[in-house]
Amino acid sequence: MHKSEYVRSYRERNAEKERQRHRLKRERLGCAKVRDPAKEKARHAVRNAVQAGKIIKPTECPSCGVAAVLHAHHKDYSKPMVFTWICATCHGKEHRND
């Protein structure tokens, strides 16, 4: 029996134990929904607005001018549609400055 077959059969035999293990892992790692629900809600609001075409996502970071995938940076998660688009590098700098 290959390892993958063994793992599959183990998970089938111990389904409830596996669910419990994953639940504990999410809690320990701090699943975003559990850790900060307002932050998760803001992320979804922006993502949905972009997908619906209500918000146009730029391709260049306004802070440094680099063409990159941009993040929506929120200063206040209770206002999900108030944010700035910035690259990952500038986003990290913003959070370290806060």
For residue 12, give its domain range: 1-30
Distance set, CA 88 to CA 16, 72, 85 (Å): 38, 10, 10
Residues 16 and 42 in one domain: no
Residues 19 and 64 in one domain: no
The Cα 42–Cα 51 span in angstroms is 14
Residues 50 and 90 in one domain: yes
Q: State the CB neighbour count (10 A cutoff) for residue 26.
A: 14
- For 51, the token pair is 């997908």
Residue with tokens 């590098």: 89
Percent of the chain with pLDDT over 90: 53
Nearest to 36 by CA among 71, 83, 69, 76: 76
Residues 89 and 70 in one domain: yes
Residues 44 and 6 in one domain: no
The string of pLDDT tens digits covering residues 33-71 is: 667 888 889 999 999 999 999 999 999 999 999 999 999
- For 52, the token pair is 């619906």
The string of pLDDT tens digits covering residues 7-42 is: 889 888 988 998 888 888 777 766 666 678 888 899
